[in-house]
Amino acid sequence: MVAGRLPGYMVPAAFVTLEALPLSPNGKLDRRALPAPDHSGTGAEADYVAPRTDTERAIAGIWAEVLDTDRVGIHDNFFELGGDSVRSLHIASRIKAAFDVGLTPREVLVTRTVCALAELVEDKVLRELERVAFGDGNRDDL
């Protein structure tokens, strides 16, 4: 289907069947009158996996706040939760504040799950600690 032909960020998170598109008095699409997608039949509730580590909990909390949702599991898809490029900027900024780790919005978009993003953050933290402990390879004291 669509998911096999398009990149993940272009695949709609939900489809809603309508008799007709709601129009404003000017004849334009009335976006406020569109119904919210119903995710109750997707099985997402059964697939929920709670965060296991402090890093996952912190990132899930950031996602929940930025994506305006009550709960985020470690395997929940960023795009299915309403994520987009603007929200990836907010997440990257908040992760920088929480972990002092620089992420690009692209890294947030590509990882797509809390679990994968937590691994990336932990890897970057570890690399930074190693750099500080062992130096950055530019030794002038030799």
pLDDT in tens, 62-100: 999 999 999 999 999 998 898 999 999 999 999 999 999
23: phi then psi, degrees, rounded to nearest 5: -115, 150
Q: Is the pLDDT of residue 141 over 80?
A: no
Q: Does domain 48-135 have CATH number 1.10.1200.10?
A: yes
pLDDT in tens, 41-56: 444 455 789 999 999 9
Alpha-carbon span 114 to 59, nearest angstrom = 6
What mean pLDDT do residues 86-115 have?
Answer: 94
